[in-house]
Amino acid sequence: MKSLVFATNNKHKIEEATSILHSTYKIISLKDLDYSDDIPETEATLEGNASLKAWHIYNKFGIDCFADDTGLEVEALNGAPGVYSARYAGPENDFNRNVSKLLHELQRYKNRRARFRTIISLIIKGSETKFEGIINGSITTERFGYHGFGYDPVFVPKGYSQTIAELDPELKNKISHRALALQKMADFLGL
């Protein structure tokens, strides 16, 4: 079985990638590589950050890898928090505070349309390919559900009546923005 490094230590992301790529690839986390340094996310776009992280790991270890960057883009907030989703309420990546800030910012808006967007940068033998996954939906006025992480308790996917955090994790892993991008990557890899 081939190995592919996912440039993350987020166990939820590792599980999601493993569920899609498990038949052909063994997914290796940064923890598996005994690498715990922060990878800089200094680009102004999701595409830029995904690429930056993937190249950082590829250049350091010389092994095929992929990285993602995800943002919640809210229409009424001109696409914010976007690339700053993880640090929306401050540099400490506190999603409870991020969600609270988002709900506060949206109080004066009727338009609650939003989308999750993931970009994956895959580097195989020094060649980069990018994949995008988008799920459209809307933001609730309060938190619902306990599954998932991040903004999942306030995001209702289009065509559903529950937040991502209320959906069965198996269903979430099929319809999520990251799952869509991972599936495009799997198709590209011939899986």
Please indicate whether residue 69 is annotated as part of the active site: yes
Query: CA-to-CA distance for 125 and 136, rounded, in angstroms?
Result: 34
For every residue of 125-174, DSSP letters joined together read TTEEEEEEEEEEEEE-SS---SSS-TTGGGEEETT-SS-GGGS-HHHHHH
Query: CA-to-CA distance for 108 and 117, rounded, in angstroms?
Result: 24
The catalytically annotated residue of 38, 64, 68, 69 is 69
Residue 48, H or E segment = helix 46-61
Query: CA-to-CA distance for 129 and 4, rounded, in angstroms?
Result: 14
Which residues does 163 contact at the CB level (< 8 Å), separation at least 6? 140, 143, 144, 145, 152, 153, 154, 155, 156
Query: CA-to-CA distance for 48 and 121, rounded, in angstroms?
Result: 9
- Selection from 80, 45, 73 nearest residue 138 by Cα: 73
Active site residues: 69
